[in-house]
């Protein structure tokens, strides 16, 4: 992954992808995963999303991975939690009650380090990557998570109007990546983002639930 690119985005605070509230689609559809409290949820490329605080408040255990250390320092500051910080393999690990966040390269994560999880919440990971890297991302995600069920939020827009990230990943591409492994159910797709993406392109937010087929 392009560490310099993402670190520069965070340094310049070019983080329009960071929502200043909990994602409404998480609140509306997370129950579709049918998870009991204390189950372990994986958030790839998690940033400092407020969704983590919401999931913790509902009694879930969180494990995330993020390239940028400043984002995770900010996350724990906003959570008002002082983490235990340690080194684990290629990662810096931030740990506290019910939360483990790894700072490092997603593609260096292994199933052994991640440990078993119960579900994946992909709110900004797949759409953060260009096509060739999305193919690698999907393969690696499936490998390290043992094809855990997912709540996946994506965007669909005219890619030629705007360069990503976030990239346009329509339902047809989601099906191409995942249909061999999951039963894919579209939950919502007609959600017009009021100001468009980066105020350049009208976009539709696509929400899917992916269960083991």
- Residue 145 CA to residue 114 CA, distance in Å, equals 8
Residue 135: count other Cβ atoms within 10 Å of its Cβ.
13
Compute CA distances 97 → 38, 81, 83, 167, whole Å: 11, 9, 9, 34
Cα angle 213-107-64, degrees, rounded to a multiple of 5: 75
Q: pLDDT tens-digit profile of 43-99?
A: 999 999 999 999 999 999 999 999 999 999 999 999 999 999 999 999 999 999 999
pLDDT score of 15: 46
pTM of the model: 0.88
> In this structure, what token pair is assigned to residue 129?
């990557």
18 pLDDT above the threshold of 50: no
Domain CATH for 148: 3.40.50.150
- Residue 93 CA to residue 66 CA, distance in Å, equals 10
- Going by C-alpha positions, the residue among 7, 117, 22, 15 that lies closest to residue 78 is 22
pLDDT score of 196: 45
Q: Give the domain range for residue 208.
A: 3-212
| HEC letters along 144-193 | HHCCCCEEEEEEECCHHHCCCCCCCCCHHHHHHHHCCCEEEEEEEEEEEC
The burial of 137, by beta-carbon neighbours within 10 Å (0-12 exposed, 13-18 middle, 19 or more buried), is given as: buried
pLDDT score of 161: 75
Write the DSSP symbol of residue 197: B
Phi, psi (deg, nearest 5) at residue 13 = 55, 35
pLDDT score of 4: 54
Beta strands in the chain (DSSP E): 40-44, 61-66, 84-88, 91-96, 99-103, 119-122, 150-156, 182-192, 204-212
- Residue 7 CA to residue 194 CA, distance in Å, equals 28
Q: How many domains does the chain have?
A: 1
Does 84 or 189 have the greater pLDDT score?
Answer: 84
């Amino acid at each position: 992954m392009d560490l310099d690119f993402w670190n520069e985005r965070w340094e310049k605070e070019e983080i329009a992808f960071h929502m200043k509230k909990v994602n409404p689609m998480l609140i509306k559809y997370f129950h579709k995963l049918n998870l009991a409290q204390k189950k372990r949820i994986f958030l790839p490329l998690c940033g400092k999303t407020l969704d983590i605080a919401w999931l913790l408040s509902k009694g879930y255990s969180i494990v995330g991975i993020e390239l940028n250390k400043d984002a995770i320092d900010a996350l724990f500051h906003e959570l008002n939690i002082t983490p235990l910080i340690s080194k684990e393999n290629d990662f810096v690990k931030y740990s506290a009650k019910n939360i483990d966040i790894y700072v490092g390269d997603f593609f260096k994560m292994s199933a052994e380090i991640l440990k078993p999880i119960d579900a994946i919440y992909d709110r900004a990971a797949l759409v953060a990557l260009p096509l060739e890297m999305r193919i690698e991302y999907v393969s690696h995600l499936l490998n390290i998570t043992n094809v855990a069920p997912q709540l996946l939020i994506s965007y669909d827009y005219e890619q030629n109007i705007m360069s990503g990230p976030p990239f346009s990943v329509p339902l047809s591409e989601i099906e191409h990546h995942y249909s061999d492994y999951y039963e894919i159910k579209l939950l919502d797709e007609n959600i017009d983002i009021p100001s468009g993406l980066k105020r350049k392109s009208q976009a539709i937010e696509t929400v899917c639930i992916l269960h083991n087929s």
